[in-house]
Chain A
Amino acid sequence: MPNDTSQNPRTLYQKVWDDHVIHTDDNGTSLIYIDRHLVHEVTSPQAFEGLRLANRPVHSPKATLAVCDHNVPTTDRANGITEPESRLQVETLYKNCEEFGIDLFDMNDKRQGIVHIIGPEQGFSQPGMTIVCGDSHTSTHGAFGALAFGIGTSEVEHVLATQTLIQKQSKSMRVTVNGDLSEGVTAKDIILSIIGQIGTAGGTGHVIEYAGDTIRALSMEGRMTMCNMSIEAGARAGMIAPDDTTIQYIKGRPMAPKGTEWDKAIAYWKTLQTDDGATYDTEVILDAKDIAPTVSWGTTPEDILPITGNVPAPSDFDDPKKQQSVARMLDYMDLKAGTKLTDIKLDKIFIGSCTNGRIEDLRSVAAVVKGKKIAENIKLAMVVPGSGLVKQMAEDEGIADILIAAGFEWREPGCSMCLAMNADKLLAGERCASTSNRNFEGRQGRGGRTHLMSPAMAAAAAITGHLTDIREFNA
């Protein structure tokens, strides 16, 4: 069964799938084993309650790691959480973890942070694993060559009770990007461009494998940014085959294999490459040189353009339903067709999220804003590190001082204004340059308007006060 070379050539996804199938029914539905499960406070309370009602234990408590991230305040935590519902949800997580024997990073733990930042950071996420979490951005962990996807609360309960899930195999898609990236173009611009090309439902029913020399040249942080937004392309999972970059990243992390187990793990991880001759249901190919610094203008992540573009008109689209949707988006976003994107003025800047809240992201922001000040029209520019350890690292490297001197607020780690469940949110009508992943109506606060972009682009926008081409900013 495992990586049997006598079989037909297999994709990375097929190999990881095959190694986790416990049983397949006649109708093609499989029971698959789940190696690791991440839990947070928002999507788990009803799952634990379900276990209690049915008097079921957690099958493998040590395969699960819990953290609070969605609801936690990003300001001073000395007094706990003031908002009663948020506090109840976080306290419920603490109680559930204690009752069921699950390891937890609580709000004041240095290792606390966004669930998809801390998994990789701790070495919890490894190649070839199946990793799930009650959060759609679980696709992030696919950057390690894991099969990682978001699940709902009923499935959270299923995994807690059985360490398995009932699944049908997905279709496979390969997105290949080759060539050198132009100056100012990052992993965020690549993934936004891919979503713009295939659409927010383009990956529905698929697991995407990202391949090509452009992807190989990305750091683990960049790969995580790409896999993270696979869900915005409709795919539940994105994967990148492990290589030396992956192995070097994992080595020595607290939950990484040690000693002889490390050698054994590496030998296995190295088999996790798509075989020559393996085929995909769908192939998409991009040339890196065609990708420009990219921003979103509408209210779905497929509504993106190169920063050099102009706001489109409904008549620029062929499909009548899309025309109707574009008209609604322009109204919601308060944009006029034909406006130059670089003329769009901003109110707030948000740097953070599981998409772009890692140390490399903060370094790139610091490089842009060093010695400069945020524009007068920017009411708030906030940096929310992805974890306590990222925050510590940024402070040790002097990044925090640079950002604070430029006028940014330096916050405590969490999901924050990516989804605005805590106190961090846009007011109606406010416009934000955001390094997060979703620009849906109301996502960052009712009536708020979101433009998605890379950390460097958001940093440049903070300084100029409007959407800005990072290449011109640097020139």
Chain B
Amino acid sequence: MDKFTTLSGIAAPLRMINVDTDVILPKQYLKVITRHGLGQYAFEEIRYHEDGTPKEDFILNKPPYDKAEILITGENFGSGSSREHAPWAILDLGIKCIIAPSFADIFYNNSFKNGMLLIELPLDQIDALMNEAEENPEAPLNIDLENQTITRGNQINFDFDIDAHKKHCLLNGLDDIGLTLEKKAHITDYETNDKTKRSWLYKS
């Protein structure tokens, strides 16, 4: 997995709440057997007309937001299904960081597994970031994971919270499975004890 340390890029304000996984990636694109190439379908129903032409008012179709690496959006982003295709599609668009007041749990976890940074901020700070992104679209927003800060010139200087384990994995580009396999002895101990305690689970 790629490391995530700092990011400086264009931030796109997507002023919607409850953006669900069917909006992020419609189900007809879940039929793939690889992780790549889904960006072209991301947000399809709000991004394109039925004939495939882009909707001009959709934020990620408008320059310079079409080159955004950061998405700022409303509450409960990513609600709905467990499809990891949703963060795969957003990442494939080139967006590596999403900032919102809240995220759905599974989407949140899935994103970090792919090296993306999701940041939760209070509503007033989200509003400030959205306004800034609209007023000065070209100015980059700077994310520093090590120091847990979001800055832009003199206008924006916010701190953010992040789970220590997730931060560690992102900063070092660590693969969870590799980390867990280092604890193999603990897993074996657990199974040995459990085979006595809940023996019926191991009989069928």
Contacts and interface: CB of A to CB of B under 8 A. Distances in A.
Interface in B85-134: 87, 102, 104-106, 109-110, 113-114
A152 B199 contact: no
Given A46-B33, A164-B187, A441 B76 contact: no
A154 B28 contact: no
Interface string A244-261: 000000000001011001
A467 B18 CA distance: 26
B31 A443 contact: no
Contacts of B114: 154
Nearest to B1: A154
A236 B84 contact: no
A231 B107 CA distance: 12
Given A33-B187, A129-B201, A166 B31 contact: no
Interface string B178-201: 011101001101110010011111
B106 A150 contact: yes
Contacts of A89: 31, 33
Nearest to A156: B84
B204 interface: yes
Interface in B148-204: 163-165, 176-177, 179-181, 183, 186-187, 189-191, 194, 197-201, 203-204
A200 B79 contact: yes
Given A136-B82, A204-B76, A162 B177 contact: yes
Given A158-B177, A322-B17, A153 B84 contact: yes
Nearest to B87: A152
A163 B201 CA distance: 13
Contact of B113 (A136, A155, A234, A441): A155
A325 interface: yes
Interface residues of A, number: 74
Contacts of B57: none
Interface stretch (B5-13, B19-27, B59-67): B19-27
B187 A62 contact: no
Interface stretch (A23-31, A305-313, A378-386, A397-405): A23-31
Nearest to A160: B177
A201 B201 contact: no
Interface string A405-443: 000000000000001110000001000000000101111
A420 B189 CA distance: 44
Size category of the binding interface on chain B: 35 or more
Contact of B163 (A22, A29, A56, A258): A29
Q: Which of A71, A126, A261 has the most CB of B within 10 A?
A: A261
B177 A54 contact: yes
A25 B81 CA distance: 29
Contact of A261 (B80, B82, B199): B199
A201 B113 contact: no
A300 to B, nearest CB: 5
A468 to B, nearest CB: 27
Contacts of B179: 166
A218 interface: no
B186 A151 contact: no
A152 B18 contact: no
A61 interface: no
B34 interface: yes
A162 B201 contact: no
A421 B30 contact: yes
Contacts of B34: 45-46, 49
A420 B28 CA distance: 8
A136 B17 contact: no
B39 interface: no
A236 B110 CA distance: 13
A234 B105 contact: yes
Nearest to B197: A2
B51 interface: no
Which 5 pairs, one residue from A and one from B, show the smallest C-beta to C-beta distance?
Answer: A152-B110, A154-B113, A152-B84, A257-B200, A261-B200
11 contacts: A33-B194, A43-B30, A45-B33, A70-B30, A89-B31, A152-B84, A201-B79, A231-B80, A325-B16, A419-B27, A440-B80
